Amino acid sequence: MIGNGVPSGKQLRAARALVGMRQVELASEVGVPTPRIVDIERGHVPPTPAEATKLIQALHRRGVVIVDGGAMPVTTMEKGVMN
């Protein structure tokens, strides 16, 4: 997390990859252009609070929970949530 519950670009990229989701799919679900997802994942820009909420929700619907594990952020799968 980069602060205030906002996931880092690395966390988002790992979470998306964990469920085999493409950037274009995530962008469509969140309602932003694909280049915006690319920029967020590369760490060029942070997501806005509204984007962060939508990103977390989109990934959670696929069974991914992004947590702050202290010094090392962790991306995990919730048991039994995968489609």
Average pLDDT, the chain: 81
56 against 4, higher pLDDT: 56
| pTM listed for this prediction | 0.78
Query: Could you tell me which of 79, 75, 80, 82 has the C-alpha nearest to residue 15?
Result: 75
Spatial separation of the C-alpha atoms in residues 61 and 81, rounded to whole Å: 8
**Which band of pLDDT confidence, cut at 50, 70 and 90, is reported for residue 77?**
low
pLDDT tops 60 at residue 23: yes
Query: In terms of CATH, what superfamily is 9-77?
Result: lambda repressor-like DNA-binding domains (1.10.260.40)
64-71 average pLDDT score: 62
